A and B are shown apart, each in its own frame.
Chain A
Amino acid sequence: MNPLHAKSYADQAVQRTVEIVENARLAKDTYRVRFKAPEIARRIVPGQFLMLRITDLNDPLIGRPLALYDTVVEADGRPEAVDVVYLVKGKLTSRLWQMQAGQRVDVWGPLGNGFCQEPGTRGQEPGARNSTTHHSPLTTHSYPPIPTEHLIMVAGGIGQTPFLALAQEALHRKRYGEPPRDMPRARRVTLCYGARTAEYLACVEDFQRLGVEIRLATDDGSLGHHGLVTDLLQQCLAEHHGRPHIVCCGPEPMMAAAAKIAHEARIPCQVSLETPMACGVGICFTCVAKIRQPDGSWDYKRTCVDGPVFDAELVEW
């Protein structure tokens, strides 16, 4: 345990006041907001997030963490804008969905650690990690590299949002990061996605367009499997016999269940924790999660700088 050695810091982050380009309704209480932020768009990688706050408003006061959904690339290939998809459920999102093109929000990012990267492919200058002795990376967070033969993305609620960019990267449709990082190609990508009812399911057509295999579940049976998304995961594992790799994002009980399935099947699994945050950059110590340490004990780690993506084996559920 070394307190100064967070897995990463907000070293690529910029803070900007940006204009909303578009704010589109995708499903019940679910919207996609697009804003022009070239510096963030060209640096951010799948699984990373940014903080968003309504400019000059003191209530709500605190920013909200929102995962990258996708970047918008200009005709000349330059990433110019960022899309995030959000569920309206609190004070900030209740205002955000009503905001229109031209209105301003404050954003800062990219933040956090995205889905696992192979060593050296992170979008940063070579050797930056080891440029001083003060912040060498933690060795407890060495993920097996994605992809693999079969990338299985397990999403609950609004947890599908970090997976579109990841799927595009894994299928070699798009690159992210500065310089753009290279990921091994996945042979197959599956999305297991569960929501309360059919009317909450959002973004499915974006995944379809990529050729992602889609399995849906709803709590009320209004579409797809009537039951848990983890049932879909088990079905998927039973039907395919490649070397799968699971990534998971959603409510904590669902992620804990997926992690258990992965553990029992000895399949690598990464989870993106949705811990409430206040700053997003590591200064407030709000977003801690119990993370297992090399000596077997647990320690509270900041989800923003040590996560939000963790090896599921390290999370104390």
Chain B
Amino acid sequence: MPAPGSASEVDLSVQLGRLSLRNPILAASGTFGYAREMERLVDFARLGGILPKTVTRAPRAGNTPWRTVETAAGMLNAIGLDNDGIDAFLEHHLPYLRELPTAIIVSIAGKSHDEFVEMTRQLDGRPGVAAIELNISCPNVSGGVDFGTDVAMCFRLVESTRQATSLPIIAKLTPNVTRITDIAQAAADAGADAISLINTVLGMAVDWRKRRPMLGNVMGGLSGPAIKPIALRCVHQVAQAVKTPLIGIGGIATIDDVMEFLVAGATAVQIGTANYYDPTVTMKLMDALPAALNQAGVTSVREIVGTLKLA
């Protein structure tokens, strides 16, 4: 028998709109490949969910190398949504993914409103797809970021995709805006089940000796521990403004990071860049989560979400 207050008594399940997850630790899109890569390193059954690498309507070769550059406590990436398109995804990746013992949330990025809607329709009703995350925030492809920086476009997109499927819809927002609460409000008003924040912060690196940009794409998205305070601030601001459940993303690597995001108002978190430099990080977080919740004096994740004390 477990001792009172032991980890086994903690309820880790979370609810993101219509999406139920067994726990709040997810692998972020673009940082977990198509999951097959991690099959022997990570026990998928212990994850709340996996977001495979973003798929686009048509295949994309991605950007010219260099595609990533390390920075202080972080990294810049400009991969450019290198993927083989949604048809190849449905044919080759989904049959593998749908057999995995965890929730699969498919991340999609359209070049246009109609492409997003079309891909949503293609995913609708597919066995093994738990939800769709709209990547309206990738800084490395032209057009892709517009939906996340324009209130009206964001509203229309979330509304249309909601109508195109019965699957839960998650909007993933960019921090590269003046007021993220405006965009989040639009996504919430349009019926998003959850809002993921944040995607990467637009940045740049220069090789002064060659007088050239380090990245093939010139600019790229900053991620890793360096952006955690920005992500935490965004989660806090949006949590104050909307009722929609939030998924915190940005530099999360330790159990303290996870707990900070939950307290600030995130119902779940996605682990991104940390997968690159610590491939088993999600397992370590799952090991540590029940004890951290115990330490916080709660017996469920739900109880700690948004419990930040202000003044």
Q: Which residues of A are interface residues toward B (Cβ below 8 A)?
A: 1-6, 9-15, 53, 58-63, 91, 106, 108, 134-135, 275-276, 278-279, 281-286, 288-289, 299-300, 305
Contact = CB atoms under 8 A, between A and B. Distances in A.
A108 B93 contact: no
Interface stretch (B10-18, B75-83, B141-149, B295-303): B75-83
Given A3-B84, A61-B225, A62-B70, A284 B276 contact: yes
A185 B94 CA distance: 44
- Chain B, interface residues (CB within 8 Å), range: 35 or more
Contacts of A285: 30, 33, 53, 62, 67, 79, 82
23 contacts: A3-B83, A3-B92, A10-B279, A11-B39, A13-B40, A58-B73, A59-B72, A62-B68, A62-B70, A91-B70, A108-B41, A135-B36, A279-B277, A281-B38, A283-B276, A284-B31, A284-B33, A284-B276, A286-B68, A286-B79, A288-B82, A300-B62, A305-B37
B79 A9 contact: no
Contacts of A135: 36
A108 B82 contact: no
B279 A281 contact: yes
A134 B95 contact: yes
Given A61-B74, A134-B96, A288 B279 contact: no
A283 B273 CA distance: 10
Contacts of B89: 3
Interface string B224-245: 1100000000000000000000
Nearest to A277: B68
Given A10-B41, A11-B40, A284-B77, A4 B277 contact: no
Contacts, number: 128
Contacts of B74: 61
Given A3-B84, A276-B65, 13 more contacts: A4-B93, A10-B41, A61-B277, A278-B75, A282-B33, A283-B31, A283-B32, A284-B33, A284-B276, A285-B33, A288-B82, A300-B62, A300-B82
Mostly, the B contact residues are: loop
Contacts of A6: 37
Given A3-B88, A300-B82, A9 B34 contact: no
Contacts of B41: 10, 13-15, 108, 281
Interface string B18-53: 000000000000111110111111000000000001
Contacts of B33: 281-285
Nearest to B62: A300
B67 A61 contact: no
Interface in B107-144: none
A276 B68 contact: yes
A281 B37 contact: yes
A247 B77 CA distance: 32
A4 B93 CA distance: 6
Contact of A282 (B37, B83, B84, B93): B37
A177 B32 CA distance: 27
B10 to A, nearest CB: 26
Given A91-B70, A299-B61, A106 B278 contact: yes
B39 A59 contact: no
A279 B276 contact: yes
A282 B42 CA distance: 14
B176 interface: no
A9 B66 CA distance: 23
